[in-house]
Amino acid sequence: MTQLSLASTPELRDGVEVFLYPQKGESCQILFLFLSSRRRLRITCKPSFSALLKELSKPQTLGESLTNSGLTLDAYTSSFLSFLEEEGIITMSNPLETLLLPKEYVEQYKRQVYFLLDVLKSPQLAHAAQKKIFDAHIALFGLGAVGSTLLQQLCMMGFRKFTLIDYATVENNDIARTPYHIESQVKSLKVQAARNLVEDHAFDPIVFLHNTTLKTHTNLDILGEKISLIANTADEPYIGYTNIKLSRYALQHNIPIVAAGGFDAHLASLGELLIPHMTPCADCYATFFHERLKNWRPIPHPVKDREGWFGGLGSLSTFSASAAALEILFFIISSGDQQVSPGKRGEFLFHDYSLDTFVVDRDTHCRSCGTEKS
């Protein structure tokens, strides 16, 4: 709590709607609606506090607001003001001022800082969250339709340190699938096009590139030290295989993974967050689907090579990239608070415009993360 001073100029935040209900007896009700987070908070208090809230919406000192509402800075009023500050309803100082981050960076991302302030309730917590984003080092496997859009969105959230891994080159049809500058970058390496994308969007970027595939024998020590999170969109040969490879490495090194969606028939998948020893790992997911699909017998497909005939839609890839970007943001700003939790998988189904989701539990006998011997 900020030290209260009668000369200070607290501000009622414009991201909070305040609804005052008619006085009933010696009390009145107030509803606070936080516009960005949709959080609602209803309180009952004495009518003079309702009057104080009206005064706090004016550009004046705390002393003037108290006088105009017939209050003094006694213990009861002080605790009410503390409550308003702790809930993120008023700010006692400029919410963008911080010593944690460069001033230009905060100016660039101020709309997001205000959003974080709504979610986390205080400027200090919002700055601390944005500092985690500023410092985080994301390793991104796969720079195709989902990976490139995910990368762009992470830059737009303020992430700036990346290790980027892909083996392919930019093709003409990428104009409908990626945010790369196609005209100048067709036939250039995707890692190079991705570096240019980061340099266009990120603040003071730091980028490491690896023009390589992700195969069984790939040595993941190329990631080096201090990776905060791995994002996987590498779907060759198959996202399930690349996830298992990365998940086993991540379990050993205690690194979370966001396995982004947007692959094969699941074009608008929500992806999943794999936190070592807290959520199911990729092996747990594989076991879950192995069990679930054990009676599923597809007829062998007569087409030998589907490549070139398998369709997609840029907006569906963007949907998956957005879901993964939000999952990464949520994890980074709340890391340390996670509880042991089940996994979730889901996808947006375009044909009937619905969201299909279900829960995947950890496999206690899992060969990679299990806690019990099978």
Please tell me whether residue 257 binds Zn ion under the rule CB under 5 A.
no
Please tell me whether residue 246 binds Zn ion under the rule CB under 5 A.
no
For Zn ion, the closer CB: 86 or 361: 361
For Zn ion, the closer CB: 316 or 366: 366
Residue 75 burial (10 A CB sphere; 0-12, 13-18, 19+): exposed
Both tokens of 54, joined, read 């009206």
Q: Select the residue interacting with Zn ion from 101, 116, 150, 281 (CB under 5 A).
A: 281
Give the shortest CB-289-to-Zn ion separation in angstroms.
Answer: 13
Which range touches Zn ion (CB under 5 A), out of 11-19, 96-104, 166-174, 365-373? 365-373
Which range touches Zn ion (CB under 5 A), out of 45-53, 170-178, 237-245, 363-371? 363-371
Q: With beta carbons less than 8 A apart as the criterion, state whether 270 and 312 touch.
A: no
How many chain residues touch Zn ion (CB under 5 A)?
6
String marking each residue 307-346 x if it binds Zn ion according to CB under 5 A: ----------------------------------------
Backbone φ/ψ region at 284: left (φ over 0), alpha (ψ -120 to 50), beta: alpha
Which range touches Zn ion (CB under 5 A), out of 92-100, 256-264, 280-288, 341-349? 280-288
Chain Cα centroid distance, residue 139: 15
For Zn ion, the closer CB: 126 or 244: 244
Residue in 180, 86, 182 with CA at minimum distance from that of residue 125: 86
Q: Give the residue nearest to Zn ion (CB).
A: 366
Q: SS3 breakdown of the chain: % helix, strand, coil, rounded to 5?
A: 40, 20, 40
Please tell me whether residue 366 binds Zn ion under the rule CB under 5 A.
yes
Please tell me whether residue 272 binds Zn ion under the rule CB under 5 A.
no
- Beta-sheet strands, E only, within 240-306: 257-259, 272-274
Q: Return the half-sphere exposure (C-beta side, CA atoms, 13 A cut-off) of residue 267.
A: 15
Q: Are strands 257-259 and 229-232 parallel, antiparallel or unpaired?
A: parallel
Q: With beta carbons less than 8 A apart as the criterion, state whether 370 and 307 touch.
A: no
Give the shortest CB-285-to-Zn ion separation in angstroms.
Answer: 8
Instruction: Tell me which residues in 282-301 interact with Zn ion (CB under 5 A).
Output: 283-284
Applying CB under 5 A, the residues found at the interface with Zn ion are 281, 283-284, 366, 368-369
